[in-house]
Structure 1
Amino acid sequence: MCPPNGRATRDDWETPLSRRAFVRAAVATGGSAALSACLGEESSLDAPEGATNPASLPDRQHAWNGSLPTDDDGNVRPPEHHVFLGLALSSDPDDAARETVAAALADVERAVERSADGVLFTLGYTPAYFDRFEPSLADAVDLPAPDPIVALTVESQVTVDTDDALLHLASDDGAAILAVEEALFGERDRLNGRSLSATLDSVFDRSTRRTGFVGPGMPADRQEGLDGIPDGEPVPEEAPFFMGFRSGFRENQATEDRVTIREGPFAGGATQHFETIALDLEVWFEDNDHSHRVARMFSPAHAEREAVGEYGEKLGTATGVAGVVDEIHDHAREYGAVGHAQKVARAREDGEPLLLRRDVNTTDGDIAGVHFVSLQRGIGEFRRAREAMLGEEFGQYGLGPRQSNGILQYLRVRRWGSYLVPPRTHRALPTPVPDGNAEPSR
């Protein structure tokens, strides 16, 4: 845990494991004290310097993969620490506010490198934000108002995100995330040694702050004392996610090109779905042995062949579920179970995944959970994948949400939101026609 007085000591940093836990807790806590604790005796941030000319950076906000490392199998390795800030407008989205937002974001890009060692970020906007303008966004982007009718289970109690925007910050350096957050909201006047020309706090209020983390060992390090996790520390030590398996396999992810909007005023952008899911890991680990967990996460055939390993280390760059999709009804009849990944793979287009997922674990509220983040060209593609995940047709085999229908019975959706992540050119308070005329309708 991050010390309550915000001061780090040598005891807090004596092993890599405790140092990682310390930083993760500091990011979850946020604020000046947490940043000071991360920096320790150092008074300034030690992050790579940013771009001399932000205009030289990729126009696609969501184009992170080229700036991220890969694991030993060649899968993109996501940043370890994440902060998601729900933002509500505190002023009119006029030209002055637009210039302020643009300047504040460009200041960050000049100060801190766009990488896992620095900070990666996206700023997306909700349908509620665009509702204030005429004409409608609907003709340009598939971004309907959030309607969580496919929210996994009847036990889900969903709060729809109706803020104006979502700022997603990600980094391997917890101090860098905290420093950028403070700089953007007027709590620091310098960032990585550079002075700042503008901040977001005159335009936005932070209405929600959610945090997450991902990486081998990080869930196991945090499992003790959380609601929803049984005693005995069941999460495998090397697993990057609470449910005990790897994710983000290269061949099971849409490419950044595939999720990019191709035409219209927001060409180069993407849509984003973001939801928070509470996990019932007590039932997941206590009612299923490893073989049953593999069958429910991947497929019964994976379990029978012992194809996964302890946490997915045998899978390389692909889950291999494409080869068992056609057997899914046979599996439902023969084994009384179907796999989560096996179901979702049915939503592919010409064999290619539709979604680029950037999920992270969360312990917000001391509850084990997942912040589910997906990028796609339009929200209709997310719905298509989610409907495949629901697998309602397997009810004919007795596989309802509370039976062995993938992992549905272990998930409870708590928050749900959809966003347009514009290209960088239009990321500062866009209108539905950013290169034309649009007026607030209210």
Structure 2
Amino acid sequence: MRSAVATGGTVALAACLENGSSLEVPDGVPEPLSLPERQHAWNDVLETDRDGNVEPPSHHVFLNLSLSSDPDSAARESVTAALQGVERAIEWSSSGLLFTLGYTPAYFDRFDATLDEAVDLPAPDPIVTLSAESDVTVDTTDALLHLGSDEPAVVLAVEEALFGDRTELNGHSLSASLESVFERTDRRTGFVGRGLPAERQSGLDGMPESEPVPEEAPFFMGFRSGFRESQATEDRVTIQEGPFADGSIQHFETLELELDAWFEESDHEQRVAQLFSPEHAERNAVGEYGERLGSSTGVESVVDDIHEHARERNTVGHAQKLARERENGEPVLLRRDVNTTDGNRCGVHFVSLQRTMSEFRRVREAMLGEEFRQHGLGPRQSNGILRYLRLRHWGSYLVPPRTHRALPRPDPER
């Protein structure tokens, strides 16, 4: 089914349905106008694990879109009708469908008006290539549509419905699509969940032949992620003022993982030290895949020791570095990243929501850890996990509130 989502199309959808995936959702789907103003309001309808950490949908499709018509009132009506048609047919939940539609700085550049000052959305500027081997493609299309569901058939059927290949969805007739307004210029897919990376690790480029990913790990690097205490709340990442209040700023990038080096050049204790902190490794605080951590990584307790760890242990942890940029102890980013095997390469689609892009840049600069070069830790040493990442795609987007999600002008209330 993961392969079907990656392939897309009618044949892939049929294969999903034959293998038990379903388009049927519970009765009583609410009217679109009763849904939250925030497109990114997912947490209240997502499942949680035994520790109270939010579990994202299992299957994801990311579509880069370019406008094929002027963003006029007729086009806005088509986009509104298409999206609301999906919302009438499929429940807003992880077993149904969750989605966001965000717009790039390039989209807004076509207008004479400028974005409200409450929206911090500068032109994409990758501040880090992570390594000399990174080769970054910056997203200069118009929009990004992110679809997520536990049911692979749902994301495939909705994609077909939105682009004119399907006129009925879950027993509901559809009156409009995005086909006359947008062209799909790039399609990426992902998945996340306990056991899924281990099932998919065989034969991937960049993965050791030994198949080392633990059976219960939800991510390719072998550890849990998305701990509740390490995630910003949806309130924290929501724009508070101006015409785009209740929106958010989304960052989306694709990272290739060098897992052959990650698993073969270091043992489990070293991987824990690089991902969390050296002290986590010494205390055996993480377990095989993070099962001992509960709802928090606990890195806030070792933030003040980071320079000592660099000097004395020649290692600083990835999570340890990022924790320095919390505000009053609270994270400023809400991450919804997923694994990917696009191009038969193991990687991560890194999805982050924040109130401003300046907050993301501040956290990313902390991840770079340039200050630790004084201790001999560059990107190719044990400076977090930098040496195992290759940045390939980079983009940033305004995710407007539902009221303005259909081809918004920079001054939508004019």
Q: TM-score, with normalisation over the residues of structure 1?
A: 0.92
The 1:213–1:349 alpha-carbon spacing in structure 2 relative to 1, beyond 3 Å, is same
Amino acid paired to 1:217: G
- How far off its partner does 1:47 sit? 2.6
1:43 Cα deviation after fit? 11
Change (3 A) 1:50 1:362: farther
2:87 counterpart letter in structure 1: E
Q: Equivalent residues in 2 for 1:32-71 (5 A)?
A: 32-40=10-18, 45-49=23-27, 51-71=29-49
5+ long unaligned stretches in structure 1: 1-22, 437-442
Name the counterpart of 1:388: 366
**Cα deviation, residue 25, structure 1:** 1.0
Q: Distance in 1 between matches of 2:310 and 2:26?
A: 52
Could you report, residue by residue, the CA deviation over 1:45-76 in whole angstroms, capped at 9, with x for unpaired residues? Answer: 32335634211000000010001010011000
The corresponding residue for 2:410 is: 432
What is the aligned partner in structure 1 of residue 255 from structure 2? 277
Kindly provide the CA deviation profile for residues 285-307 of structure 1, in whole angstroms up to 9, marking residues without a partner as x.
00000000000000000000000
Instruction: Determine if the alignment matches structure 1 residue 340 to structure 2 residue 318.
Output: yes
Residue pairs, 1:95-174, within 5 angstroms: 95-137=73-115, 139-174=117-152
Q: Which residue pairs with 2:390 in the alignment?
A: 412
1:198 aligns with 2:181: no
Pair 1:373-2:342 in alignment? no
Q: Is the 8 Å Cα contact of residues 50 and 111 (structure 1) preserved in structure 2?
A: no
CA contact (8 A) 1:44 1:192 kept: no
The number of residue pairs the alignment matches comes to 414
Taking a change above 3 Å as real, the CA distance of residues 220 and 43 of structure 1, as seen in their structure-2 partners, is closer
Alignment-mate amino acid for residue 102 of structure 1? T
Q: The residue matched to 2:178 in structure 1 has which SS?
A: coil
CA distance in 2, matches of 1:45, 1:330: 54
State the identity %.
Answer: 73
- Residue 254 of structure 1 contacts residue 356 of structure 1 at CA under 8 Å; is this kept in 2? yes
What is the deviation of 1:144? 0.3
Alpha-carbon distance between aligned partners in 2 of 1:358 and 1:222, rounded to the nearest angstrom: 20
Mean Cα displacement is larger for which, 83-92 or 38-47? 38-47
User: Which amino acid in the other structure matches residue 420 of structure 1?
Assistant: L
Preserved CA contact (<8 Å) 2:46 2:93: yes
Amino acid at match of 1:226: L
Contact 1:49 1:112 in 2 (8 A): no
Q: What 5-or-longer segments of structure 2 have no aligned partner?
A: none
1:166-218: CA deviation from partner (whole Å, max 9, x where unpaired): 00000000001111111111101100000001100000000100000000110
* Alignment of 1:312 onto 2:300: no
Distance in 1 (CA, whole Å) between partners of 2:192 and 2:51 is: 17
Shift in Å, 1:334: 1.1
Task: Tell me, in whole angstroms, the C-alpha distance in 1 between the residues paired with 2:406 and 2:308.
Answer: 51
Residue 373 of structure 2 aligns with an amino acid whose one-letter code is G
Residue type at the aligned position of 1:163:
T
Q: 1:430 to 1:49 in 2, by over 3 A?
A: farther
The 1:144–1:50 alpha-carbon spacing in structure 2 relative to 1, beyond 3 Å, is farther
Q: Distance in 2 between matches of 1:367 and 1:50?
A: 40
Hey, what's the Cα distance between the residues in 2 that align with 1:160 and 1:174?
Answer: 28
Task: Give the SS at the match of 2:343.
Answer: helix
AA in 1 matched with 2:83: L
User: How far apart, in 1, do the equivalents of 2:403 and 2:27 lie?
Assistant: 22
Which residue type is aligned with residue 305 of structure 1? R
Match of 1:401 among 363, 368, 379: 379
Task: Kindly state the Cα deviation for residue 140 of structure 1 after the two structures are TM-superposed.
Answer: 3.7
1:30 maps to which residue?
Answer: 8
Could you tell me whether the CA contact under 8 Å between 2:21 and 2:153 is conserved in 1? Answer: no
**Alpha-carbon distance, 1:39 to partner:** 1.0
Tell me, in whole angstroms, the C-alpha distance in 2 between the residues paired with 1:401 and 1:358.
25
Contact 1:49–1:110 at 8 Å: present in 2 too? Answer: no
Q: Is the 8 A contact 1:50 1:112 kept in 2?
A: no
Secondary structure, aligned partner of 1:83:
strand
The residue matched to 1:105 in structure 2 has which SS? helix
TM-score using structure 2 length:
0.98
Answer whether contact 1:50 1:110 (CA < 8 A) is retained.
no
Look up the SS of the partner of 1:91 in the other structure. coil
Residues 164-243 of structure 1: pairs in structure 2 closer than 5 A: 164-243=142-221
Once the two structures are TM-superposed, the CA of residue 41 in structure 1 deviates from its matched residue by 8.3
Structure 2 CA distance for partners of 1:406 and 1:128, relative to 1, 3 Å: same
Which letter does structure 2 place at the counterpart of 1:413? Answer: L
C-alpha distance in 2, partners of 1:45/1:153? 42
Secondary structure of 1:334 counterpart: helix
| Structure 2 CA distance for aligned equivalents of residues 49 and 344 of structure 1 | 43
Q: Contact conserved, 1:190 with 1:196, CA < 8 A, in 2?
A: yes
SS at match of 1:133: coil
Counterpart residue type for residue 115 of structure 1: S
